Amino acid sequence: CNNHGTMRTGQSSVEIQQSILNHLHYTQAKPLPFATRNDWYMATAHSVRDQMLHNWLTTFDIFMSSPREKHKIVSYLSSEFLMGPHLGNNLVNLGLSESVRKALSALGQDLEAILAQEVEPGLGNGGLGRLAACYLESMATLRVPAVGFGIRYEFGIFDQEIHNGWQVEKGDNWLKNGNPWEVRRPDIAYEVKFGGHTEFAHDPEGRLAVRWIPEKVIKGVAYDTPVAGYRSGGVAVLRLWKSEAVASFDFQAFNAGEYYKAVDDKVLSETISKVLYPNDEPGIGKFLRLCQQYFFVSCSLQDMIWFHLSLGRGIESFSESFAIQINDTHPSMGIAELMRLLVDEHHLEWDEAWRITRESFAYTNHTLLSEALEKWPLPLMASVLPRIVEIIFEINRRFLDEVRGLFPEDDQRIARLSLIDETGEKYVRMANLACVGSHAINGVAALHTDLLKKTVLHDFYELFPEKFHNITNGVTPRRWLALSNPELAKLISSKLGEGWLSSIETALAWLQGAAKNTTFQQKWLKVKQANKIALAKVIRERIGIEVDPASLFDVQVKRIHEYKRQHLNVLHIITLYNRIKRDPTADITPRTFIFAGKAAPGYHMAKLIIKLITSVADVVNTDPDVAGRLKVVFFPDFNVTNSQLIVPAADLSEQISVAGKEASGTGNMKLALNGALTIGALDGANIEIREEVGKENFFLFGLEAAEAQSLKSGGYNPRCWYEGNEQLRQAIDQIDAGTFSNGDRQLFRPLVDNLLNRDEYLVLADYQSYIDCQDLVSAAYCDKKKWAEMSILNVAGMGKFSSDRAIREYGEKIWKTTAIIDPTKY
Ligand code: 26V
């Protein structure tokens, strides 16, 4: 039912076919014989977008006509949104896959080929950005009114190529063929100030107020992408800001000098949203990143205030219109910016503005690594954002006064809580700002929240215990099961009936009843086998390595980082290799080790770990003694698209970070949801996954977080572990001796030195426990029936890790929003 003509929103394959032809003609302006594959993709995408825009405007109408108290919107502020390709997911969520497939095939086109044409928007580094994408999709599914605010980077995360075993970064020009999903909104644009100075001045009503005279003003223009909920009619909006020059060329004042200055200004303005920074790039104090953060929070908050006022509400009730969630500290400057907007531009008293700000903001922490806690050099921030620094000082002055009242004489505590780090060079501590300016603070897994309270945020926990919550991460089962693993989804539907994708939290558990059923197990293994064959084909085509789909697919896919311990996995491979070399008839369960992941361009050790993996691969894959038993693959350019291919084919999920370092992990959830068994330490969400799937269906190894902590504080000496373990010593000696580097003894020296002398992440201490556990995995894999049962029970236990559950918890514990757009009610 729509009054805009069925031509655009009809859902039969005939109507869709017509719509695609119309877009080919009127949007792409291509005669049929000249249409390229990209034209077909664009026309298909535009047809699907029409359906979504219609739902979007309907959602908006319902929102506006709902009772006033329901006018609350979740505003998810994130410097990253790793959305993944849109077309396939939108088809699943709108229920259009089959009619579009049919429509395309009537036009002589193949849906799979059209899907493969999409270049994914890589506007994120990894878990944090992908989480934001899952949450937007769940909010749309649950019909929670929601906007995701971020930056429209022209270049997302770099593309990774492997040259001679090393990572090489390539620019990600994702917009080059056009982006059919976004709507540019030139009318939604805000100005953002940078540099300059502040002064006191009288405002129009004669009050004395601070005025910020900037050195430069940049404009942010909104680009909106609709995000479809799963069969709910709900749509969330992803609003990304692009930076532009405020004024266009001034031809009146034309003279050569002015003209080129105007061009220079334009280039500088557009630079702000040019490129995404890798989050784990070492070194702080990047001027451009600071500008990016302030730029996007300022645009977003101005936009929220504009919308709030346009609802006819007074500024003092702002927090009734918006619940603002900040995804890590990157948007935490929003706290000072909202204060600035309320005090300087909307003339509220400080206390009133502070009440509104604290009621609006909530902060999610995503890391326990102290080196990953953001801090900005004070002189840099003061020169780029003079007014914001004044406001931060004032927040800090008032806050520390309160703390002094509570803990008189405790100067050390005051120094730790201060928003300004004054232990050496001065820095602004963004996590402290986020804690002080938010009414809620949450960690992303039970252990993580617990450790936050005990360690990095301990002082804040003592001060505001009531602010702390845990909300364990979740992933959307639509992208990570229905879309990526359609055959498994079909098999599950055959047991649970249709509709389980909307109620996965409770529905999946019903699979337990089928876990021992032999016929079901056989069908289950067949689906896995088909996914492995499909991945093997891509590996052959893309990397030229032949892998055996009957072997155990052992998968570790995630950012390359020492704490995630890809090198522990490599030590296991070398250990197996040595067993075979020692005894060529040794009984070894055939395995294919699959790695994928990017290393931050400036993180040398991570890049060396990639080189180690590819070097070990070169030796193992070509050794005739090993043939048919071990293969090692480094799959280049890990991104959402590739992940959707690898995850469904995994038998074993490697979640081997040292306990106490991985905040949650979400790949662990995706892999288990696709029937992989996990080998993992008690870290992040692994602990909860193990509880849900049953201890007997999880391969546990390694030290616990508390044990790891006390081992280190007792003076850990990795060399003792090396000397006391013959197999470990042999493996490390081989790396050192050049066994995997054609005799080059220098290549891996930094890695070996680090392991033997520091080993911050306890690789050597966990080695034997890991090897023993892997032997259990190998034995278990030989019993196909048992393995199938365990795999089914893993999927059955994954209901908790749906992002729908996580979003419900945010709604109940933090946002206190009852606002749900229900088309049946209005
Ligand atoms: C930043 C840095 C900065 C400098 C040095 C090393 C380093 C390492 C990591 C990071 C990123 C921290 C934020 C982040 O991406 N956290 C991830 O968030 C996911 C979603 O909650 C969670 O599943 C991952 O465990 C967590 O690492």
Residues 522-550: tens digit of each pLDDT: 999 999 999 999 999 999 999 999 999 99
Task: State the pLDDT at residue 267.
Answer: 84
User: Which of 79, 135, 280 to mutate to test ligand 1, by most ligand atoms within 8 A of the CB atom?
Assistant: 280
Does the structure show a pLDDT above 90 at 436? yes
pLDDT in tens, 472-503: 999 999 999 999 999 999 999 999 998 999 99
- What number does the ligand 1 atom closest to the CA of 665 have? 23
Task: State the pLDDT at residue 250.
Answer: 55
pLDDT in tens, 184-223: 999 999 999 999 999 999 877 888 889 999 999 999 999 9
Residue bearing the CA closest to ligand 1, atom 7: 280
Q: Is 558 a catalytic residue?
A: yes
User: Which of 76, 125, 128 to mutate to test ligand 1, by most ligand atoms within 8 A of the CB atom?
Assistant: 128
Q: Is 526 a catalytic residue?
A: no
What gap in Å lies between CA 407 and CA 413, rounded to an integer? 8
Q: How far is the CA of 363 from the centre of ligand 1 (A)?
A: 15
- What number does the ligand 1 atom closest to the CA of 127 have? 19
Q: How far is the CA of 595 from the centre of ligand 1 (A)?
A: 19
Q: Is 564 a catalytic residue?
A: yes
Task: State the pLDDT at residue 248.
Answer: 63
pLDDT in tens, 149-163: 999 999 999 999 999
Which position has the higher pLDDT, 9 or 739?
A: 739
User: Which of 325, 330, 367, 370 to mutate to test ligand 1, by most ligand atoms within 8 A of the CB atom?
Assistant: 367
- As separate numbers, helices (DSSP H) first and strands (DSSP E) second, the chain gives 34, 22
Q: How far is the CA of 598 from the centre of ligand 1 (A)?
A: 13
Q: How far is the CA of 293 from the centre of ligand 1 (A)?
A: 17
pTM over 0.95: yes
Q: Is 670 a catalytic residue?
A: yes
Does the structure show a pLDDT above 90 at 71? no
Does the structure show a pLDDT above 70 at 758? yes
Q: CB neighbours of 695 closer than 8 A, spacing ≥ 6? A: none
Which position has the higher pLDDT, 280 or 118?
A: 118
Task: State the pLDDT at residue 283.
Answer: 58
**Mean pLDDT, rounded, for 672-690:** 98
> Among residues 289, 439, 558, 631, which one is catalytic?
558
What DSSP character marks residue 369? Answer: -
> Among residues 666, 678, 739, 817, which one is catalytic?
666
| Helix, strand, or coil (residue 46) | helix
H or E stretch covering 446: helix 446-454
Does the structure show a pLDDT above 90 at 235? yes
Q: How far is the CA of 366 from the centre of ligand 1 (A)?
A: 6
* E-state strands within 183-309: 183-194, 197-202, 208-213, 216-228, 235-245
* E-state strands within 233-320: 235-245
What gap in Å lies between CA 292 and CA 449, rounded to an integer? 29
Which position has the higher pLDDT, 399 or 266?
A: 399
- What number does the ligand 1 atom closest to the CA of 282 have? 4
Task: State the pLDDT at residue 3.
Answer: 42
Does the structure show a pLDDT above 80 at 69? no
**Mean pLDDT, rounded, for 88-110:** 98
Task: State the pLDDT at residue 321.
Answer: 95
- Per-chain mean pLDDT for the chain: 95
On the 0-12 / 13-18 / 19+ scale of CB atoms within 10 A, 808 is middle
What gap in Å lies between CA 369 and CA 371, rounded to an integer? 5
> Among residues 448, 528, 670, 690, which one is catalytic?
670
Q: How far is the CA of 435 from the centre of ligand 1 (A)?
A: 18
pLDDT in tens, 119-132: 999 999 999 999 99
Q: Is 666 a catalytic residue?
A: yes
Q: Residues 303, 185: contact at Cβ < 8 Å?
A: no
Between 47-61, 551-565, 775-789, the lowest mean confidence (pLDDT) is in 47-61
Q: Residues 672, 792: contact at Cβ < 8 Å?
A: no
Q: How confident is the model at residue 826 (pLDDT cuts 50, 70, 90)?
A: low
Q: Is 193 a catalytic residue?
A: no
Task: Give ligand 1 pocket residues (Cβ under 6 A).
Answer: 126-128, 131, 279-280, 282, 328, 366-367, 369, 371-372, 444, 473, 662-666, 684
Share of the chain above pLDDT 90, in %: 89
| C-alpha gyration radius of the chain | 27
DSSP 269-282: HHHTTTBPPPTT-S
**Mean pLDDT, rounded, for 321-327:** 97
Q: How far is the CA of 127 from the centre of ligand 1 (A)?
A: 7
**Sheet (strand 552-557) strand order:** 630-634, 591-596, 552-557, 652-655, 677-680, 699-700
Q: How far apart are the first and last CA of the chain?
A: 16
- What number does the ligand 1 atom closest to the CA of 328 have? 13
pLDDT in tens, 640-668: 999 999 999 999 999 999 999 999 999 99
Q: How far is the CA of 128 from the centre of ligand 1 (A)?
A: 7
Which position has the higher pLDDT, 1 or 372?
A: 372
Residue bearing the CA closest to ligand 1, atom 20: 128
Residue bearing the CA closest to ligand 1, atom 16: 366
pLDDT in tens, 250-306: 555 556 667 777 777 788 889 999 999 987 776 555 899 999 999 999 999 999 999
Q: Residues 429, 421: contact at Cβ < 8 Å?
A: yes
